[in-house]
């Protein structure tokens, strides 16, 4: 049986050089980075080197990069501390954000800390900038806008500069969950004036359990986790040194090979779309995931023309065939909840059909995509 991994938006294969770097760190740099002896100083030097490496690529200051356990913690830290420390009374977001944002702002609203508003979406799932402007101007409360750059389910990309600039013009802070885009796109935080960004290493062939928050200098935010002065006082606790150097190695590799890997993975996505359109012409691409210019090159989300009853067996069938991907609606598992993203943009009829997210990396091949397309074609026709 073939084993084909097409769930790279969930997590990616770790690069070999990253594994080697982390093994060396675990074996030879075991000192506590907060210790003053040579073992600790060696670890501290490597952590600060990683921080500078990331900052230089993003055109940020090293002090603006805060290591976290990943994107979820980074989003939580930023949103909660903005309310607690920065006087934010209103948060504006969308109903198709990652749950790390969506559930956090819902909790903040339930706790009585904020007013919560959602930007209207167009039929493809893009936030309407004119509605955001209306929400920004509705009162004088201190506001934070949180809009993800690349949607993790349907791949839509917002014009982040336009939304960020509008927010800043109206005195609002701007946060973006950039977990699906840092490591896949160039960033310059001097040109994109967002106050806060987030990243996770395992989305760009690094280890799980490590990421970072970009927090613009002089933000005024206090600590999320108390107990020590690590991470500029934002996050107490002994740093996961081996994960940090693994993050740095993956980050450097991502940007060293960025242009070539964008070209390669974009070609895979185009090949997959053309194959689906040819072999399963009644299939639909959700959101803008079938548009090579308006969605990320790393994923597509496909709605298949099969009944709700048959859909229950789809993921099982793909797993038996050795294909790993992610479901995008309730039908595959029998869950009544389904995808919160697709529920906002699909018709009732299409919500009854199975939707799958296929996400690609440099470790995939066209031969794997041929096998996947044929497997889907056989399932639909069977």
Q: With H, G, I as helix, E, B as strand and everything else as coil, classify residue 249.
A: helix
The reply to whether 152 and 262 lie within a common domain is no
Whole-number Å distance between alpha carbons of 327 and 153: 9
The reply to whether 75 and 148 lie within a common domain is yes
Note whether residue 1 is domain-resident.
no
Q: Which of 223, 303, 325, 331 is catalytic?
A: 331
pLDDT in tens, the chain (382 residues): 789 999 999 999 999 999 999 999 999 999 999 999 999 999 999 999 999 999 999 999 999 999 999 999 999 999 999 999 999 999 999 999 999 999 999 999 999 879 999 999 999 999 999 999 999 999 999 999 999 999 999 999 999 999 999 999 999 999 999 999 999 999 999 999 999 999 999 999 999 999 999 999 999 999 888 998 899 888 989 999 999 999 999 999 999 999 999 999 999 999 999 999 999 999 999 999 999 999 999 999 999 999 988 988 998 999 999 999 998 543 334 445 689 999 999 999 999 999 999 999 999 999 999 999 999 999 999 8
Q: How many CA atoms lie within 13 A of 270 on its CB side?
A: 9
Whole-number Å distance between alpha carbons of 134 and 10: 34
CB burial readout 173-191, b (16+ within 10 A) else e: bbbbbbbbbbbbbebebee
Q: Which domain holds residue 292?
A: 257-381
The reply to whether 208 and 59 lie within a common domain is yes
The reply to whether 242 and 279 lie within a common domain is no
Q: Which of 256, 282, 314 is the last residue of a domain?
A: 256
The total domain count for the chain is 2
The reply to whether 346 and 251 lie within a common domain is no
The reply to whether 327 and 242 lie within a common domain is no
331 is catalytic: yes
Note whether residue 355 is domain-resident.
yes
């Amino acid at each position: 049986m073939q084993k084909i991994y097409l769930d790279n938006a969930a997590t990616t294969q770790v690069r070999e050089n990253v594994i080697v770097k982390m093994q060396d760190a675990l074996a030879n740099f075991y000192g506590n980075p907060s210790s003053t002896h040579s073992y600790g100083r060696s670890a501290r030097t490597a952590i600060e080197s990683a921080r500078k490496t990331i900052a230089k690529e993003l055109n940020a200051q090293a002090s603006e990069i805060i290591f976290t356990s990943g994107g979820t913690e980074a989003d939580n830290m930023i949103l909660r501390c903005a309310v607690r420390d920065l006087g934010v009374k209103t948060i504006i977001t969308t109903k198709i954000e990652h749950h790390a944002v969506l559930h956090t702002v819902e909790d903040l609203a339930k706790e009585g800390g904020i007013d919560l508003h959602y930007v209207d979406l167009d039929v493809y799932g893009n936030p309407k900038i004119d509605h955001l402007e209306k929400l920004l101007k509705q009162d004088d409360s201190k506001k934070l806008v949180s809009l993800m750059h690349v949607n993790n389910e349907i791949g839509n990309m917002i014009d982040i500069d336009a939304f960020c600039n509008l927010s800043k013009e109206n005195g609002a802070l701007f946060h973006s969950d950039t977990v699906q885009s840092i490591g896949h796109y160039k960033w310059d935080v001097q040109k994109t004036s967002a106050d806060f960004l987030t990243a996770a290493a395992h989305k760009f062939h690094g280890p799980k359990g490590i990421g970072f928050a970009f927090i613009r200098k002089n933000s005024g935010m206090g600590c999320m986790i108390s107990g020590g002065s690590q991470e500029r006082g934002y996050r107490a606790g002994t740093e996961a040194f081996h994960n940090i150097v693994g993050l740095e190695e993956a980050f450097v590799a991502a940007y060293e090979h960025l242009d070539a890997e964008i070209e390669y993975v974009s070609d895979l996505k185009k090949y997959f779309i053309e194959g689906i359109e040819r072999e399963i012409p009644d299939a639909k691409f959700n959101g803008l995931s079938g548009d090579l210019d308006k969605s990320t090159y790393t994923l597509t989300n496909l709605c298949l023309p099969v009944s709700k009853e048959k859909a229950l067996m789809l993921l099982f069938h793909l797993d038996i065939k050795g294909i790993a991907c992610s479901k995008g609606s309730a039908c595959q598992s029998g869950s009544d909840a389904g995808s919160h993203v697709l529920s906002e943009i699909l018709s009732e009829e299409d919500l009854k059909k199975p939707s799958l997210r296929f996400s690609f990396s440099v470790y995939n091949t066209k031969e794997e995509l041929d096998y996947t397309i044929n497997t889907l074609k056989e399932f639909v026709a069977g």
